[in-house]
Amino acid sequence: MATSATHPPLAAQVEQLLETGHPLPIVAAGDPVLRRGTEPYDGQLDDALLDRFVAALRETMRAAPGVGLAAPQVGVALRIAVVEDPAPGSPEVLEVRGRVPLPFRVLVNPRYEPEGEARAAFFEGCLSVPGWQAVVARPARVRLRAVDERGRAVDEVLTGWPARIVQHETDHLDGTLYLDTAHTRSLATNEAVAERWSQPTPEEAARELGFELP
């Protein structure tokens, strides 16, 4: 989908980033690049450079490991993200959370809209906020519009965990971290979540930590 019109500063930034080797360093909360929002993708990278950048995002996401990674998380303010979720876990947890495998895909200039009023709340983490999780209530069903790395239109409705992943990564492109909308009383270390709050839903955590679920 790249065009012949290029913007040297962004292309040069990506070239320089890719020279650092893979996986790429992930930017942590506190860096302004995570708060500034992003520039819509409009061919700033040629096809070859875009392919290399997407491959680096994919490798970095998998190495972390994570289920999504947005360009600002590696310091690039472009409206591009990658997502992928093999959906590991027990059948009970997967069913309650609506977590199904999400094949690897590239989202270029994504946006989403809630479909219906239903909301779902679960613990959520972020590669840019390592070591912590918090409960976030999000629309349970969203309509995603984007294009892929080849400019093919994406227009589909997502539910469950795929909807959550897409919302989380698209929010990154708007300068929003999950903590901005999380129940702050639910904030817990990864170790605390594993030891205390690994139930299929966060209902027990809500009772014990004192926050409300939708």
pLDDT at 2: 42
Ligand-binding site membership of 126 (annotated): yes
Judged on CB neighbours under 10 Å (0-12, 13-18, 19+), 174 is: middle
Residue 214 lies in a domain: no
Query: Please, are residues 2 and 148 in contact by the beta-carbon 8 Å criterion?
Result: no
The contacts of residue 5 (CB under 8 Å, 6+ apart) are 42, 43
Active-site residue set: 169
CA distance 72 to 81: 9
Q: Which domain holds residue 66?
A: 8-209
- Whether residue 168 is annotated as binding a ligand: the answer is yes
Q: Please tell me whether 7 is known to bind a ligand.
A: no
Q: pLDDT digits over 58-95, tens only?
A: 999 999 999 999 999 999 999 999 999 999 999 999 99
Assess if residue 98 is contained within a domain: yes
| 187 within a domain of the structure (yes/no) | yes
Q: Do the domain assignments include residue 1? A: no
CATH code of the domain covering residue 138: 3.90.45.10
Residue 3: pLDDT over 60 = no
Please tell me the pTM assigned to this model: 0.94
3 in any annotated domain: no
Total domain count for the chain? 1
